């Protein structure tokens, strides 16, 4: 089977991880500009001040993407370039920058796929309460509408938010992302609700403009599976899916929150403060949401917790993907299993979990339109005689594209695949050591770009529309 001609082969990046130029051309300061400079927060105290300098090298980077045959490029807009203070006055230089990126993509026939929020929040808004403050939702709609009007003539695919579970979870439970708060479930659930509300408002605002494009949201896709057939563990997996999956998919796709979670949050006193009007907006927007973006890296293997819970020290590793932590409510924990494969950072490699998860999603939500908006291998790539030999990445993407193929054959409606990432970039907490790109960036040689083995391989896959996978 070949992938259909309208299936998009793409790759993704995010503003903070790639652009640099953190204080240039009128850009405001963001939560990440501040947070990454607190000693010990990131690996080797790396930050995005320069990142891989895409801000100045975007022409070279997009030319390479075109050479690779990329059909679509998913990138994010830094809110603080458009509104340095989050709201108020627009910074024209920010609009110009993204217009240049879009036009450069279109020059090569690359479809621009825009994420509006990939975690870099203008610091002024963070200081005013960030996602706990409902005015942030209003500010987001203003910012989003400005982007729709400025770019919507040429951009036909908008993602409102990237991975709500991550920036809220890391922000209010693990304290690993800004605002760095630990163990505060009440705040965590409140922030998620404010984000769903902002998403719904943005969807409605977009549809009012009649721009004839599509809008959706990108969620983490980490389906939970029980480690064995035991009833307790099966219960734990269902519980995990309710909190980690349905809580994030239901409001966007169905316009309501899962009853199972609501009941428990009510008992525990963690129910967000929401108004009937906000719930009505979420409901109204759901039918207008055009697609769901899935960021799949790994499934979760879960085990029911019994007896007293041993507290696990939060490390950068287990806060960012390595299994081992108990859930916030101490119902289950994620585990590593002897018969599974893992990356150097302890993330499970499971194309089968991908197919099973996609089948489960179809069962629950029907044939909704999906894009795989992230998938890829974080690795330390070997350089042999000057060439970047990233064979494990080729294997990883090959296996996962085959999984996508299988799912399509099962009737799952997937319209595109975006590898993470187009080019090596800054990993939020893991610096430059953890690489994901098809294009290597040499930090010892003025950030020179170099094509990896996977660059040529992906080119071939796109050319043949994945026929040989």
Q: Look up residue 299 and give its two tokens.
A: 């499934």
| CB environment 227-242: b (16+ within 10 A), e (fewer) | beeeeebbebbbbbbb
- Which of 244, 295, 350, 375 touches ligand BGP (CB under 6 A)? 295
Of 3 and 296, nearer to ligand BGP (C-beta) is: 296
Quickly count: other Cβ atoms within 10 Å of residue 355's Cβ: 20
First to last CA, the chain: 9
Pair 136, 35: CB distance under 8 Å: no
Residue 57 binding ligand BGP, by CB under 6 A: no
Residue 428 binding ligand BGP, by CB under 6 A: yes
Pair 192, 154: CB distance under 8 Å: no
Only one of the segments 158-166, 250-258, 261-269, 286-294 lies at the binding site for ligand BGP (rule: CB under 6 A); that segment is 158-166
Residue 420 binding ligand BGP, by CB under 6 A: yes
Least separation in angstroms between residue 328's CB and ligand BGP is 18
Of 163 and 381, nearer to ligand BGP (C-beta) is: 163
Least separation in angstroms between residue 295's CB and ligand BGP is 6
- Which of 190, 233, 430, 454 touches ligand BGP (CB under 6 A)? 430
Least separation in angstroms between residue 438's CB and ligand BGP is 15
Least separation in angstroms between residue 424's CB and ligand BGP is 11
Least separation in angstroms between residue 89's CB and ligand BGP is 28
Only one of the segments 30-38, 205-213, 407-415, 423-431 lies at the binding site for ligand BGP (rule: CB under 6 A); that segment is 423-431
Residue 166 binding ligand BGP, by CB under 6 A: yes
Residue of 128, 109, 149, 96 lying closest to 31 (CA atoms): 128
Centroid of chain to Cα 356:
20
Pair 11, 452: CB distance under 8 Å: no
Strand partners, 329: none
Active site residue 266: no
Of 322 and 405, nearer to ligand BGP (C-beta) is: 322
Calculate ∠ Cα 134-140-143, nearest 5°: 150
Active site residue 263: no
Please report, as residue ranges, which positions from 365 to 394 form the binding site for ligand BGP (by CB under 6 A).
374, 378
Residue 434 binding ligand BGP, by CB under 6 A: yes
| CA distance linking residue 46 with residue 170, whole number of Å | 18
Of 71 and 374, nearer to ligand BGP (C-beta) is: 374
Only one of the segments 32-40, 162-170, 239-247, 298-306 lies at the binding site for ligand BGP (rule: CB under 6 A); that segment is 162-170
| CB environment 66-96: b (16+ within 10 A), e (fewer) | bebbbbbbbbbbbbbbbbbebbeebbeebbe
Strand 8-12, strand 414-420: pairing: parallel
Catalytic residue from among 163, 278, 303, 348: 163
Catalytic residue from among 126, 214, 348, 374: 374
Residue 120 binding ligand BGP, by CB under 6 A: no
Residue 142 annotated as part of some ligand binding site: no
Q: Look up residue 297 and give its two tokens.
A: 């890296």
Assess whether the previous peptide bond of 179 is cis (omega < 30° from 0): yes
Residue 116 binding ligand BGP, by CB under 6 A: no
Residue 118 annotated as part of some ligand binding site: yes
At residue 215, φ and ψ (nearest 5 deg) are -140, 140
CA distances from 53 to 185, 317, 425 (A): 37, 27, 9
Please report, as residue ranges, which positions from 309 to 338 form the binding site for ligand BGP (by CB under 6 A).
320
Only one of the segments 204-212, 231-239, 411-419, 421-429 lies at the binding site for ligand BGP (rule: CB under 6 A); that segment is 421-429
Task: Show binding-site residues.
Answer: 17, 118, 162, 297, 420
Question: Given the rule CB under 6 A, which residues bind ligand BGP?
Answer: 14, 17, 162-163, 166, 295, 320, 374, 378, 420, 427-430, 434
Q: Could you list the active site residues?
A: 163, 374
């Amino acid at each position: 089977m070949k992938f259909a001609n309208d299936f998009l082969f793409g790759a993704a990046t995010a503003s903070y991880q790639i652009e640099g130029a953190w204080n240039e051309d009128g850009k405001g300061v963001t939560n990440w500009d501040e947070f990454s400079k607190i000693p010990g927060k990131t690996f080797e105290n790396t930050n995005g001040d320069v990142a891989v300098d895409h801000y100045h090298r975007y022409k070279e980077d997009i030319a390479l993407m075109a050479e690779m045959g990329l059909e679509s490029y998913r990138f994010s807009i830094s809110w603080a370039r458009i509104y340095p203070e989050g709201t108020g006055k627009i910074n024209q230089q920010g609009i110009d920058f993204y217009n240049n990126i879009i036009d450069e993509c279109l020059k090569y026939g690359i479809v621009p796929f825009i994420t509006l929020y990939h975690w870099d929040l203008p610091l002024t808004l963070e200081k005013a309460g960030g996602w706990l403050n409902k005015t942030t939702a209003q500010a987001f709609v203003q910012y989003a509408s400005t982007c729709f009007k400025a770019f919507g003539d040429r951009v036909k695919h908008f993602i409102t938010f990237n991975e709500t579970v991550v920036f809220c979870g890391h922000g209010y439970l693990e304290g690993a992302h800004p605002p760095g708060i630990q163990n505060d479930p009440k705040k965590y659930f409140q922030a998620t609700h404010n984000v769903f509300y902002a998403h719904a408002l943005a969807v409605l605002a977009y549809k009012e403009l009649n721009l004839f494009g599509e809008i959706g949201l990108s969620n983490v896709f980490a389906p939970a599976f029980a480690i064995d057939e035991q009833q307790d563990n099966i219960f734990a997996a269902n519980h995990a899916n309710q909190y980690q999956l349905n809580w994030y998919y239901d409001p966007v796709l169905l316009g309501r929150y899962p009853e199972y979670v609501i009941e428990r949050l009510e008992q525990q006193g963690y129910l967000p403060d929401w108004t009937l009007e906000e719930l009505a907006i979420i409901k109204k927007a759901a039918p207008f949401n055009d697609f769901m973006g899935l960021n799949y890296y790994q499934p979760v293997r879960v085990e029911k917790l019994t007896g007293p819970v041993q507290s696990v020290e939060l490390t950068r590793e287990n806060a960012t993907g390595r299994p081992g932590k108990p859930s916030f409510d101490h119902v289950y924990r994620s585990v590593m299993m002897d018969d599974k494969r893992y990356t150097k950072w302890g993330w499970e490699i499971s194309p089968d979990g991908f197919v099973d998860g996609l089948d489960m999603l179809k069962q629950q939500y029907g044939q909704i339109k999906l894009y795989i908006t992230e998938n890829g291998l974080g690795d330390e790539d070997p350089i042999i005689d000057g060439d970047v030999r990233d064979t494990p990445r080729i294997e990883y993407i090959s296996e996962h594209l085959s999984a996508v193929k299988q799912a399509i054959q099962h009737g799952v409606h997937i319209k595109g695949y975006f590898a993470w990432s187009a080019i090596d970039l800054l990993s939020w907490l893991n610096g430059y050591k953890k690489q994901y790109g098809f294009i290597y960036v040499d930090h010892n040689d003025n950030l020179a770009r170099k094509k990896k083995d996977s660059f040529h391989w992906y080119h071939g896959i796109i050319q043949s529309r994945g026929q040989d996978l």
